[in-house]
Amino acid sequence: MKKKTILVLTVMILSSLFLFAQGGSEERLTEDGRQIVTYWYYHKGNEATIQENAIARFNASQDEYFVEGFSVPDKQKYLVAMASDESPDVIALTNAEVISYQTNGLLEDMSTMGEANGFDFSIYDKPAVTANSVDGRMYAYPLTSVVIQMFYNKDLLASIGETEPPTTMEELFEMAEKATTLDADGNIDILGYPLFPLASARQELIYAFGGRWAAEDGVTPTANCEGNIKSLEMNMAFREKYGVEKVQRFVATGNTNRYTPQDIFFAGKQLFRFDGPWFANNIKQYNPDINFGVAMVPGTEADPELLGVSRYENTSLAIPVVAKEKDGAYAFISWFVTEGAKDFLLEIGSLPANNTLYDDPDLLASNEAFPSFMEALKTGNGIEAPRMDYSAEYISMVDEYLDYIYNGTMGIEDALNELQAQAEAMAD
C-alpha cells in the first residue's frame, strides 16, 4: 500500500476520533441565550409526563436557565454517562443510591452549595437530612418521601369482634391469630399477620420492635441486636403455627399478584397490610368495595412511642461531580424541592420531603391515606437505610439471611450472629 494512502487514512481516523472526543465539551445555549441544563429522571410513562410538567413550570419561570428532561429508567446509563464525559447536570435517584454513589465520590456536596446560596435547610427533618448524607454532608436534596403505614380490612377486623386497629404489635399478633383462616386442605385462606409485602418483613416488622440493621451512626452493623431477635421470634411464631411452607406459598401468591386485581388485600384475604400511600388509590382502582382503614404502624407494649415507625426513603435530586452546568443544576434543584414541589406532589401522588408541606390542605385532601401518613412523618420515626460504604451488599446479605430464618434453614440467633460476623468482616 502506498505510504500516501496510509497517511491519509491515519489522519482521517485520528481526526474523527479527536472530534468524537471533543463532542461533549461545548457550552450549550438556547436560541434566546439561556443556559441548557440536562436532567435525567428514572420515571417513565405518566410519571415522566409529570416530570416534564414540572420542568415546563421551571422553564417558564426562568430567563437564565433552560432544563431539558430525559426519561432514563435504566440507571446504569447514569453511570456510563458520568464515566464517558456525557454526564447529565441533574439526576433523580433514591436516597440509597445517593449513599452508594457518594461512597464512590460521584456527587457534589449539596451542603456546601446550599450554604453558599442561602438554602433553608430547616425544610428538612432529621430523617430526610440523614438519609441523604455521608459524613454529615448532604449530597442530594430529597423531593418526595416514602413511608409505609398500616392498611386494614375493617370487615375482617369486625369479624373477629374488633372495631379499632391495634396500637401495639402484641395486640396485632392476637388479632392476626383470630383472623387467620385455613381452607379444607389446610392452606391459608385469610392471612392475619402482615408478612407480606416481603420488604416489610425486613423493615417495618423489625423496626416496630426497636430492631435496626445499623446503629444510629448508620455505619455500624447491628444485625444481632435484641429488637431484631424479638421481632423475628414473633414472625416465626406465626409462621410455625400455620406451617412455614403454607405461609410461604400464600406469601408467594401474594407477591406474584401484588397490585393486580388478584392482590390478596383487594380479594379480602389479608387483614393487615403494611404499604405506601399509593395503596389507597390501588384499592379504589381494583376493588372499591373493600372497606378499609389506615392507621400508623404499631409500636410495642414496651415502646409505645414507636407508633408510626417505618422505613424512610426519598426520591432525591443530585448533581454529579462531572456535571458541566452546576450553577444551573443547583438553581433547578433548589426550585424543585421548594416552590416546585407542591404541584409536582399533587400530580404524582407522593408524600413530601419538605416539612412545610406536611399540613398543606390540598395535599392532605388529595389522598385519603395522607393524613395518617403525614402524622407518621411528623413523629420523626422514619428509619433511614444503613449508610456504610458496603450498604448495598449488606442489605442483600440481610435479605439472604432472613430467607434462611423464614424458611427454617437456620435458627434466628445463629443466622443473625453469622450475618453480624460477615458484616463486621466487610467493614474491616
Partner 1 sequence: MKKLRISRDGRNGFLFALPWIIGFLLLSLYPLIMSLYYSFTEFNFISNPEWVGLDNYKDLFGDRRFYKSLSNTCFYAFVATPILLVVALLLALIANKKFKLKGVARTVFFLPSVIPMVAATMVWIWMFDPTYGYINNFLSLFGIEGPAWLINPKTTKWALVLMGSWCTGTTMLVCLAALQDVPNSYYESADLDGANAFQKFIHITIPSVAHVLVYQAILNLINAFQYFTQVYVITTASGGNTSGASGGPENSILMYPLYLFHNAFVYQKMGKASAMAWILMVIVGLLTIVMVKLSKKATSNAGGE
Q: Which one of 4, 31, 76, 288 is in contact with partner 1 (CB under 8 A)?
A: 76
Q: Which one of 7, 11, 13, 427 is in contact with partner 1 (CB under 8 A)?
A: 13
25 lies in the site for partner 1, by CB under 8 A = no
Q: 221: helix, coil or strand? A: strand
**Type of residue at 332:** F
First to last CA, the chain: 60
Residue 214 β-bridge partners: 221
For partner 1, the binding residues in 220-259 under the rule CB under 8 A are 245, 248-253, 255-259
Least distance (Å) between residue 210 CB and partner 1 = 21
Q: Which one of 22, 46, 181, 396 is in contact with partner 1 (CB under 8 A)?
A: 396
Least distance (Å) between residue 219 CB and partner 1 = 16
199 lies in the site for partner 1, by CB under 8 A = yes
Taking the alpha carbons of 106, 109, 114, 116 in that order, is the dihedral positive or negative?
A: negative
Q: Measured between alpha carbons, how far is residue 346 from residues 50, 169, 288, 326, 410 in Å? A: 10, 33, 21, 28, 46
Write down the residue that cell numbers 406459598 correspond to: 249
For partner 1, the binding residues in 403-422 under the rule CB under 8 A are 403-404, 407, 409, 422
Q: Which one of 323, 402, 419, 423 is in contact with partner 1 (CB under 8 A)?
A: 402
Question: CA-CA distance, 195 to 202, in Å (whole number)?
Answer: 10
Q: Which one of 150, 201, 297, 307 is in contact with partner 1 (CB under 8 A)?
A: 201
**Roughly what angle, to the nearest 10 degrees, separates helices 226-242 and 244-256?**
100
Question: CA-CA distance, 138 to 145, in Å (whole number)?
Answer: 16
Q: Measured between alpha carbons, how far is residue 192 from residues 175, 251, 284, 316 in Å? A: 7, 12, 22, 35
Which lies closer to partner 1 via its Cβ, residue 45 or residue 105?
Answer: 105
Query: Pattern 119-158, binding to partner 1, x per CB under 8 A?
Result: ----------------------------------------
Cell (9 digits) for 261: 386485581
278 lies in the site for partner 1, by CB under 8 A = no
**Which residues, 6 or more positions from 256, have their beta carbon under 8 angstroms from its beta carbon?**
none
Q: Which one of 115, 226, 393, 424 is in contact with partner 1 (CB under 8 A)?
A: 393
**Which residues, 6 or more positions from 139, have their beta carbon under 8 angstroms from its beta carbon?**
98, 101, 102, 107, 108, 109, 110, 132, 133, 318
Least distance (Å) between residue 3 CB and partner 1 = 13
Question: CA-CA distance, 189 to 184, in Å (whole number)?
Answer: 9
The whole-angstrom distance between residue 342's C-alpha and the CA centroid of its chain comes to: 19
Least distance (Å) between residue 251 CB and partner 1 = 7
286 lies in the site for partner 1, by CB under 8 A = no
Q: 326: helix, coil or strand? A: helix
Which lies closer to partner 1 via its Cβ, residue 5 or residue 163?
Answer: 5
Question: CA-CA distance, 53 to 91, in Å (whole number)?
Answer: 17
Q: Which one of 229, 322, 346, 364 is in contact with partner 1 (CB under 8 A)?
A: 322
Q: Which one of 390, 413, 417, 420 is in contact with partner 1 (CB under 8 A)?
A: 390
399 lies in the site for partner 1, by CB under 8 A = yes
Which lies closer to partner 1 via its Cβ, residue 259 or residue 278?
Answer: 259
CA angle 283, 285, 289 (to 5 degrees): 55
Q: How many residues in the shown chain lie near partner 1 by CB under 8 A?
A: 47
Least distance (Å) between residue 423 CB and partner 1 = 13
Residues found near partner 1 in the complex (CB under 8 A): 1, 9, 13, 76, 79-80, 82-83, 100, 104-106, 185, 187, 198-199, 201-202, 245, 248-253, 255-260, 262, 321-322, 390, 392-393, 396, 398-400, 402-404, 407, 409, 422
